[in-house]
Structure 1
């Protein structure tokens, strides 16, 4: 399975860390929310591939948080609900709130991982190829992009790069990953990527003075927004 960005919404630190450690050892990136309100906030500002949601949490429970997330642009994300409640009525409440799967505690980590994989595969088949991150919106089907509703003009190559950088934001995307997305195993002999990055930066400067591409020599690139510079 490709590397996933997973959000774990769980107020019990030991449970959250056990799941997170297992997923990170499997090569995935993990972030945490310790209440339902924080989970909604992170979903509004970041991009994740799957959400593991506890039901009983402070500030906003998992049922309410799931309902709110389903109204967001990223609302088609797979959501797996974790709970100690195992009655049929409890399960129906979970599914009716928008959960894709319902897992009763205690659970075996390999089973949770298998269910995550199944939901991600299912979601990828139905994925609308649309992401919105920090005011940057991309539609892979129409190859269209905008920043704060201002059109961003991209060619097919710079769109692919922008897609990777936006999806990974604020993390670094390895140079090799970008090159593989552009050319697969047929890598060019010259460093053409540098020219594509130059063209992308030029397009970004015409669209917004807040969004830029930061390069790390020999490693890769990341997207930065002026308001996020202290956090990036």
Structure 2
């Protein structure tokens, strides 16, 4: 899942990005409202975390103009020091899905992100293919009850493959959703990541494997 953080305070922006990436999200971050709107023109995000006090425009303008996907505008959690009832009401009326006052605990923000994603129909139901099971909320995969030792990025890849299975996931989609903008990504980064996950699934005796669809991407299929 990919998030957009819109926050002009460098220390808080870095804190949010580092915590959310550690918790398994792909995260892009911008510091202005115009940057937020521009980012949404080129990337599909699952949710946005939006500060209202931006240097170039009020965050509520960004909220009103945020991109819409297949299921409507992307979910948005507002972060702000504005503690008036009027501010909360106007943000919620403008379409915010949640509202958090500064200062806050990043663990609470993470919990609220999960809740917003659930309400936006991003299911946290257990995913499986054969004897391979993935629990999105716990962020771990297992084969016949044995937990697979996966890196954060391998876990993100597996989730995307399971959600799409048996459909093909194009390579460009994976590059967009597994890496944040500005991250250094080598030409064969996706191939290497798929290779590592494929090997771990085989070593773990999973009844599922990743097939390469040459020139297009990959798909996860149940063996046999």
Q: Spell out, residue by residue over 1:98-141, the C-alpha distance to the aligned partner (whole angstroms, 9 max, x if none).
A: 11000011111111111011111211359xxxxxxxxxxxxxxx
Alignment of 1:25-64 (within 5 A): 25-64=22-61
1:114 corresponds to: 111
> In 2 relative to 1, CA 60–17 (structure 1 residues): closer, same or farther, beyond 3 Å?
same
Structure 1 residues 96 and 38 mapped into 2: Cα distance closer, same or farther (>3 Å)?
same
The equivalent residue for 2:176 is 169
In structure 1, distance between residues paired with 2:87 and 2:63: 15
Secondary structure class of the residue paired with 1:20:
helix
Do the aligned partners of 2:44 and 2:69 also contact (CA within 8 Å) in 1? no
If the length of structure 2 is used for normalisation, what is the TM-score?
0.61
Partner of 1:186: 207
- 1:15–1:29 CA distance, 2 compared to 1 (3 A): same
- Determine if contact 1:54/1:82 at 8 Å carries over to the other structure: yes
- In structure 2, relative to structure 1, the CA distance for the partners of 1:57 and 1:177 (3 Å cut) is farther
Give how far 1:165 is off.
3.9
SS of match in other structure, 1:169:
helix
With normalisation by structure 1, the TM-score equals: 0.59
Distance in 2, matches of 1:80 and 1:30, equals: 14
Taking a change above 3 Å as real, the CA distance of residues 125 and 11 of structure 1, as seen in their structure-2 partners, is closer
Q: In the alignment, what sits opposite 1:160?
A: 168
Q: Give the superposed CA RMSD.
A: 3.3
In 2 relative to 1, CA 25–86 (structure 1 residues): closer, same or farther, beyond 3 Å? same
User: What is the rounded CA distance, in whole Å, between the counterparts of 1:168 and 1:74 in structure 2?
Assistant: 22
Tell me which of 124, 127, 133 is aligned to 2:121.
124
Structure with more contact order per residue of length (Cα contacts < 8 Å, sep ≥ 6)? 2
Are the structure 2 counterparts of residues 74 and 9 from structure 1 closer, same or farther at C-alpha, using a change threshold of 3 Å? farther
Q: 1:96 to 1:166 in 2, by over 3 A?
A: same
Structure 1 spans left out of the alignment, 5+ residues = 127-155, 205-212, 214-219, 221-232
Call closer, same or farther: CA 1:14–1:157 in 2, change over 3 Å: closer
- Secondary structure in 1 matching 2:3: strand
Distance change (3 Å), C-alpha of 1:101 and 1:12: same
Task: Determine the C-alpha separation between the residues in 2 that align with 1:118 and 1:167.
Answer: 24
**Could you tell me which residue of structure 1 aligns to residue 78 of structure 2?**
81
Q: Please, which runs of 5 or more residues in structure 2 have no aligned partner?
A: 124-163, 180-188, 199-204, 219-224
